[in-house]
Amino acid sequence: MRELIKRRPVLSFAVFIVLWTWILMAVIIALVPVDPIAGPQFIHVALVFFVASPSVFGFLFTRIVDGKAGVRELLSRAGRWRVNPIWYAVSLLFIPAVIGVSVLIRGLFGADLSQLDILGQLAFALPIALLAGVMEEFGWRGFMLPRLLKQHSAQKSALIVGIVWALWHAPINYMGLSRYGGMLFPSCLYWLFFRLSRLSRWCGYTTAPNTAC
């Protein structure tokens, strides 16, 4: 197994992380009834392991492929944070801006927005998004992306990461989105993961070309 990972690190990581997640979520969904509207349940605790798995396996695979020196180098990349403040604003405000525009469009088409607590939802979602970044990005753009860039263009590399990213997110997004109609699920995967993967890759390499996380 170690030799296979060393020979095909990106493919091994992608297959392993997707299979691990799909099997884990299948077991959880089978054992615990899932209600996206209900309060905290066992599944919310289990999701911590789901969300953290890309970074956990990113460090594990880095240790196998590059040894302890590779792990230290991966950690050092996360500390390169001194960039133009405008990029912090882009990173933090882009998604809330997209959500805000989508809400306004819904209002223009007659949707009832009186019960929508936008500020409350953002206050809840932003810390989770920041925490999720730490739990995921050591795998996606710390382990996968730099290796892909050695063989492919930046656009193709971002697309590959986006596809694996979408497959990894599919089970948890299915639980929350499937009840709204079949077409919403694939469209959300495309816009949220393929496009945002390319955006985050562009932001990352514009601000710090030598930083992959």
* Tens of pLDDT, residue by residue, the chain (213 residues): 888 999 999 999 999 999 988 888 787 777 766 555 454 556 666 666 777 889 999 999 999 999 999 999 999 887 766 667 777 777 777 767 777 777 778 778 877 777 666 676 667 666 766 777 788 889 998 999 999 989 988 878 888 888 888 888 877 666 554 444 444 444 455 445 555 555 555 555 544 444 444
Q: Can you give the C-alpha Rg of the chain in angstroms?
A: 18
* pTM of the full structure: 0.71
| Nearest one of 74, 80, 39, 27 to 55, comparing CA atoms | 74
Q: What is the DSSP letter of 191?
A: I
- Per-residue 3-state assignment (H helix, E strand, C coil) for 92-160: HHHHHHHHHHHHHHHHHCCCCCCCCCHHHHHHHHHHHHHHHHHHHHHHHHHHHHHHHHCCCCHHHHHHH
- Measure the N-to-C terminal CA separation of the chain; round to a whole number of Å: 26
What's residue 187's pLDDT? 47
